[in-house]
Amino acid sequence: MPPLEIEKILTPVKRVIDPCVAIRVKTDGSGVEASGVRMSMNPFDEIAIEAAIRLKEIGAANEVIAVTCGMADCAETLRTALAMGADRAILIETGIELQPLAVAKILAALCLKERPDLVICGKQAVDSDAGQTGAMLAALLGWPLAARVSSLNVADGKFLAACETEDGREVWRLRPPAVLTVELGLNTPRYVTLPNLMKAKKKALDTLTPEALGINARSRLTTLSIATPPSRRPCVRVADVDELLARLHDETRVI
Amino acid sequence: MPGIPCIAAMRTLILASARADLGQSVRQVVSAARQLGGEVHVLVVGDKDSAAAIACAAAGVRGVAVVKCAEIASDAMPNIKITATLLKSYALDYTHILSDDSGFCRAVLAHVAALLGVEPVTGVTRIVSTDTFVRPVYAGNAWMTVQSHDPVKILTVRTANFAPADDGGNATIIAIAPMPEMPSPVAGIAQLLECQCTTGLLAGNTAPPLDSARIVVAGGRGLGSAENFTALLAPLARRLGAALGASYGAVSAGYAANALQIGQTGRIIAPALYIAVGISGAIQHLAGIRDAQVVVAIDKNPEAPIFKAADYGLVADLFGAVPALTHALEALGEKT
């Protein structure tokens, strides 16, 4: 048993268009086609849930709570988290298009209510690619932030988090409560087995609203349009290295 | 008396990050700031040596009026909270706060935005007007145009999309004394134990930083091992004066350090020449090289998606092609 034991880990998860799906922008520019498209848990959030459950499995934490914000069908993502091993789940139900600040405010209000010792989030959502929610949550709570965590250990009553940076890596020692955002490579999330999915149906899934938490979740940014980027010119196949160099020299002047 | 508000008097504060590229990314953020119009100031936060160097570099950039330089004890750096507290203390004097899209700056700007109650806009690739910005979503497969109505607009910009501003600046440098109410280093709560710099180790210390390199050579899973990655790509990169990069596949297989990762969840770069070796071309990787001027792909699979994103494609075994390319470049170099 490691010397550190915390009570609760809160793990926010997001339902996104599956990253393997080729997205299609609506012709009127109002958004991306989402009806009938395969959805899944944001890959970074799967890593976050896996990290939380592993901490529980080594006896460093007692309870893992998964939370998501959105429409009722987002409960599907919570069921996946429960099947992976989360103990209970919370759906913050709303029809409002949520942007990172609103999500951070909702999560902060939930943290004041649930009092977790650790929040483990994904580094970014692969649909919006904003990468802001975890940091904003840490700011609102006044908790330290360890961002882009690529390895996580427990030692001497504290967490040791290796955080990836543009220039290399930093190792931080953190006392809870804290917010962690997780990076690819921290772990390989477990598959959800059918028996665990069945068991998950018995676990608690509660529903709240942003209003019940006292939060106005309105969007602050107006989305004016969404467009497809222009496509690249066609690829010239070269036969060998000499032709490649000749073309680069003659046609592009980069070499 | 500050009664009648001045219409559209833009004033931008740029957070300069203490990064290995020492001023290059600041030049690009200054370009973005100049598109907004109005005065451009730069805030530099760092330990004694790095802060002074960055402040000098920033002051020489054309378009910068004032550089505010705050020195902080080195055992407190890098510290998101201290930098954010300092930045927030100035925020309401400006209409816009900008930075590059690095992890540290993103976290600091997120911190300031949360405390001010405004929605930040990250990864901006184009400034349409003082309140309207374009940013990529879905790994760059869609471009979203958003409008902010917040009194202070907080933006991180994709430096790859902004040409660096020239020399010729003559900004005033003001030293900022640490504020009494600034939080002390969060020792005991969060303590930095170790800082490992892994960039530049493979291609030698003369390699340019990945973000601003003119030429980038990147390897993928096709290299097969960390030894191959270095043995094949380092000589090519050295010959070209290029930075080394890697796909997520190569990084997760342990062939290269995470700091070399290019893609949706790594670096977004826009070199003049990008050479992808043994990289299949997943959507997430292509997101990182969309704005590269010329893309060359070398892979043995003619169906690899990378060829759809490349300008020139060589379908070949990289274990033969890369040494041949390095050798041919050496021969070219000897002729000139």
234-263 in B: which are within 8 Å (CB) of A?
A: 240, 248, 251-252, 257-259
For residue A13, the distance in angstroms to the closest alpha carbon of chain B comes to 17
Residue A129 token pair: 């690619």
Enumerate the residues of chain B whose CB falls inside 8 A of the CB of residue A123. Answer: 265
Q: Do A139 and B84 touch (CB under 8 A)?
A: yes
Q: Which amino acid is at B273?
A: L
- Nearest-by-Cβ selection for A135 from B106, B145, B188: B106
Do the chains contact at B259 and A135, CB–CB below 8 Å?
Answer: no
Q: Is the Cβ pair B296, A166 closer than 8 Å?
A: no
Q: A156 at the B interface (CB within 8 A)? A: no
Closest approach of B130 to chain A, Cα-based (Å): 14
Distances (CA, A) of B297 to A21, A243, B236, B256: 24, 14, 14, 19
Category of B21 on φ-ψ map: left (φ > 0), alpha (ψ -120 to 50) or beta:
alpha
Q: Would an 8 Å CB–CB cutoff place B80 in contact with chain A?
A: yes
Residue B315, chain A, CB below 8 Å: the answer is yes
What per-residue confidence (pLDDT) applies to A175? Answer: 87
B174-to-B69, B145, B268 alpha-carbon distances in Å: 6, 36, 33
In this structure, what DSSP letter does residue B104 have?
H
Dihedral over Cα of B283, B289, B293, B298: its sign: negative
Tokens representing A112? 């004041």
Residues whose CB falls within 8 Å of the CB of residue A194, separated by 6 or more in sequence, listed in order: none
Query: Do A147 and A114 touch, CB atoms closer than 8 A?
Result: no
Q: Residue A142: how many CB atoms within 10 A of its CB?
A: 11
Chain A: residue whose CA lies nearest to B329:
A245
Instruction: Please check whether residue A10 is in contact with residue A65, taking contact to mean a CB–CB distance below 8 angstroms.
Output: yes
Handedness of CA A118, A123, A128, A130 (dihedral sign): positive
Confidence (pLDDT) at A39: 96
CB B155 within 8 A of CB A137: no
What is the per-residue pLDDT across A184-198, written as a single tens digit (0 to 9) for each?
889 999 999 999 999
Which residues 90-149 of B are in CB contact (within 8 Å) with A?
Answer: 102-104, 106-107, 110-115, 117-123, 132, 135-149
What's chain A's average pLDDT? 93
How many residues does this entry show for chain A?
A: 255
Give the chain A residue nearest B189 (alpha carbons): A175
> A244–B195: do the CB atoms touch at under 8 Å?
no
What pLDDT is stored for residue B242 in this prediction? 95
- Tokens linked to B171: 């900004």
Look at B20 and A166 and tell me if their CB atoms are within 8 Å: yes
Tally A–B CB contacts below 8 A. Answer: 247
Nearest residue of B to residue A247, measured between CA atoms? B312
Q: How confident is the model at residue B192, as a pLDDT? A: 63
Higher-scoring residue by pLDDT: A96, B291: A96
CA distance B5 to chain A (A): 22
Q: Which residue of A has its CA nearest to B272?
A: A254
Could you give the angle at which helices B24-36 and B48-59 cross, rounded to 10 degrees?
50
Q: What is the pLDDT of residue B187?
A: 42
The reply to whether residue B283 touches residue A22, judged by beta carbons under 8 angstroms, is yes
Q: What is the DSSP letter of B302?
A: T
Decide if B264 and A129 are in contact by the 8 Å CB cutoff: yes
Winning range, highest mean pLDDT, from A137-141, A160-164, B255-259: A137-141
Q: Which residues in chain B have their CB less than 8 angstroms from residue A148's CB?
A: 103
Mean pLDDT, residues A207-223 taken together: 96
Looking at residue B121, its amino acid is V
Token code pair at residue B112: 């300031």
- Residue B324, pLDDT score: 96
The tens digit of pLDDT for each residue in A45-79 reads 999 999 999 999 999 999 999 999 999 999 999 99
Q: What is the pLDDT of residue B5?
A: 47
- Asked if A233 and A112 touch (Cβ cutoff 8 Å), the reply is no
Sheet holding B121-124, edge to edge: B121-124, B153-157, B96-100, B11-16, B39-46, B66-71, B172-176
Q: What is the ipTM of this complex?
A: 0.93
CB B125, CB A214: distance < 8 Å? no
pLDDT tens digits for range B31-90:
999 999 999 999 998 877 788 888 999 999 999 999 999 887 655 445 788 889 899 999
* Minimum CA–CA partner of B106 in chain A: A132
Dist. CA B82–CA B84, nearest whole Å: 5
Give the pLDDT confidence score for residue A28 in this predicted structure.
Answer: 93
Q: A66 — phi, psi (to 5°)? A: -95, 140
Contact assignment for A229 to B290 by CB distance below 8 Å: yes
**Distance between A169 CA and the closest CA of chain B, angstroms:** 5
- The answer for A 59-118 residues in CB contact with B (under 8 A) is 99-101, 104
Quick check: B258 and A183 in contact, CB under 8 A?
yes
Q: What stretches in chain B show pLDDT beneath 50?
A: 1-7, 20, 76-77, 180-182, 184-188, 199-204
CA angle B133, B136, B142 (to 5 degrees): 115
Closest CB from A32, A135, A175 relative to B188: A175
Considering only residues 21 to 50 of chain B, which have any Cβ-Cβ distance to chain A shorter than 8 Å?
none
Q: Where are the alpha helices (DSSP H) in chain B?
A: 24-36, 48-59, 80-91, 103-116, 226-240, 248-252, 283-286, 318-335
Banded pLDDT at A206 (limits 50, 70, 90) = very high
Question: Which residue in B102, B293, B312 is closest to A236 by CB distance?
Answer: B312
